Each structure stands twice: as C-alpha cells, then as structure tokens.
C-alpha cells in the first residue's frame, strides 16, 4: 500500500488498487443504464450515410477470432503512425513542439508504444518499442502475442493476432506539470491512441479488439519496465478476422 503524500504516490494508490476483478458482476439491462429515461427527446437530423469517418466508425467492432496469416509491414507502419506518429512541428513562443496523430495534454506525450508481433512481412517475430521521432522500432525481446495470453487473463484469441499493441505510461511526464490530474490525462491519451489504431485497422480491412484486463506485474515484467514510474495501461490486438 502506498501513502498518498505526493502526486506519484497518489497515482499509484489508485493504479495498484484497481486490479482485474475476481469475478464478473451481473449484467445490467440497457434500459436501467439510461440517464434521465423519462425526459423528452429533441430529435436530431439523420446522420449522412456517405460520410467517410462515419462508415469507419460503423465498421469498428471487437474481433475475437484471428486467422493465422501474414500482415504486410506497411500495415504495421500505418497502425503505429496512426496511434502516435509525428504529424509535424509547430513553433510556440520561440520553442518548437511536436504535433502527433493523437492529442496529448500539454504536448507531453507520456505514452510509450510497445508492439508484440508475428507473421509480419520482413520483420522477425518478437517484442518491439516504437520510436515516433525516427518512425522506427527498437528490439526489446522475443515475446510474441501468445506469450501474453496468461497475463491477459487467458484471452487466448490473441494467439493468431499479428500485432499486440501495448500502451504504457511514464507517469511523471504528466504529473510534474498537472499533478494528480495528470493521471487522468495519461489514461485519456491511451484511449486516443487505441481508437486511432482501431480506425486504421478498419481502413486496412483488419480485425481488432481492445483489451484492458491484465495482470499488471506480469505484463510489466515482459516489457521490462518497473510498473511504478512506467507501467502498462492498455492493449489492442490486430490481425485478419476469421470469417464467421
């Protein structure tokens, strides 16, 4: 247990006390989840069906069956760039700042991106770290997606995914400026990046599923990070969807 006497310790007080649940709660009917169910509704215009982004959003769904097939290297590059690639530079008050493809509070970019891959054309299977500034990969170790099945609560459908993206947070990058509110910003950013991966996967005709349930210590150990100043937050598995 951590004492909450400074921003990182308060962050960890919550972070390490939010493990995966030991069981599953009874499902709540959708009708009981509505906010203000008795209020009158002002109807809005119908959404145009020919909007490109709308079509992508409607095609996005969670996939839990992946084919054992190969993914082109360019697809991996596009997925990583969509998540956190550099979109340009901007000058503010005489200083140059990066722009990236997902928003970040204060432009601090606390999220690091790891990707465990297999059957990617021209790339050895294993775990890599993505470096946006060079749009390239650092080799980490030989861990492939199936090595994460047990840490990800036995979600064995990721075994044939071509890529398992793991977003991690370097807490003090945000906490030093925003104090404990920075932890929320870090989680927001992980969500932004995950959604970008999902939408690019739809564009590429690939299946995808977001995964937030895992044993923190096990995943952090595979990544080689300490789990306190730098910890795993969120995962997305991507591959070719098996036809139903």
pLDDT tens-digit readout, 135-180: 999 999 999 999 999 999 999 999 999 999 999 999 999 999 999 9
Token digits for 30? Answer: 């959708």
Can you give the pLDDT at residue 5?
Answer: 61
pTM for the predicted model, two decimal places: 0.90
Can you give the pLDDT at residue 1?
Answer: 45
Backbone angles phi, psi at 164, to 5 degrees: -115, 110
E-strand stretches of 26-170: 86-92, 95-100, 111-117, 126-131, 136-141, 163-170
Check pLDDT > 70 for residue 192: yes
Can you give the pLDDT at residue 15?
Answer: 93
Contact 54, 48 (CB under 8 A): yes
Q: Which pLDDT band holds residue 35 (cuts at 50, 70, 90)?
A: confident
Check pLDDT > 70 for residue 2: no
Q: Which residue has the higher pLDDT, 1 or 239?
A: 239
d(C-alpha 191, C-alpha 188), whole Å: 5
Host H or E run for residue 198: helix 181-203
Q: Which pLDDT band holds residue 59 (cuts at 50, 70, 90)?
A: confident
Q: Which pLDDT band holds residue 4 (cuts at 50, 70, 90)?
A: low
Neighbours of 106 (CB within 10 A): 14
Token digits for 166? Answer: 């793991």
DSSP letter for 225, please: -
Check pLDDT > 80 for residue 24: no
pLDDT digits (tens, 9 = 90+) for 66-86: 989 999 999 999 999 999 999
pLDDT digits (tens, 9 = 90+) for 99-130: 899 999 999 999 999 999 999 999 999 999 99
User: Which CATH architecture describes the domain 60-239?
Assistant: 3-Layer(aba) Sandwich (3.40)
Tell me which residue has tokens 């009917």. Answer: 29
């Amino acid at each position: 247990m951590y004492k909450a006497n400074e921003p990182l310790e308060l962050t960890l007080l919550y972070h390490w006390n939010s493990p995966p649940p030991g069981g599953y709660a009874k499902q709540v009917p959708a009708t009981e989840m509505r906010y203000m169910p008795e209020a009158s509704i002002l109807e809005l215009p119908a959404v145009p069906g020919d909007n490109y982004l709308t079509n992508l959003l409607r095609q996005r769904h969670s996939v839990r069956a992946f084919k054992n097939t190969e993914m082109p290297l360019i697809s991996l590059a596009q997925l990583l760039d969509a998540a956190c690639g550099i979109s340009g530079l901007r000058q503010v008050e005489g200083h140059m700042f990066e722009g990236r493809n997902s928003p970040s509070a204060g432009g601090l970019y606390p999220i690091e991106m790891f990707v465990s891959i297999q059957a990617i054309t021209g790339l050895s299977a294993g775990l890599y770290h993505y470096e946006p500034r060079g749009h390239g990969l650092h080799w980490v170790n030989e861990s492939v997606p199936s090595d994460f099945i047990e840490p990800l609560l036995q979600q064995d459908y990721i075994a044939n995914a071509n890529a398992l993206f793991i977003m991690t947070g370097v807490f003090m990058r945000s906490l030093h400026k925003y104090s404990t509110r920075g932890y929320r910003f870090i989680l927001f950013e992980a969500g932004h990046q995950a959604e970008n991966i999902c939408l690019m996967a739809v564009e590429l005709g690939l299946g995808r599923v977001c995964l937030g349930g895992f044993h923190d210590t096990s995943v952090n150990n595979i990544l080689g990070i300490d789990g306190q100043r730098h910890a795993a937050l969120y995962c997305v598995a991507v591959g070719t969807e098996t036809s139903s």
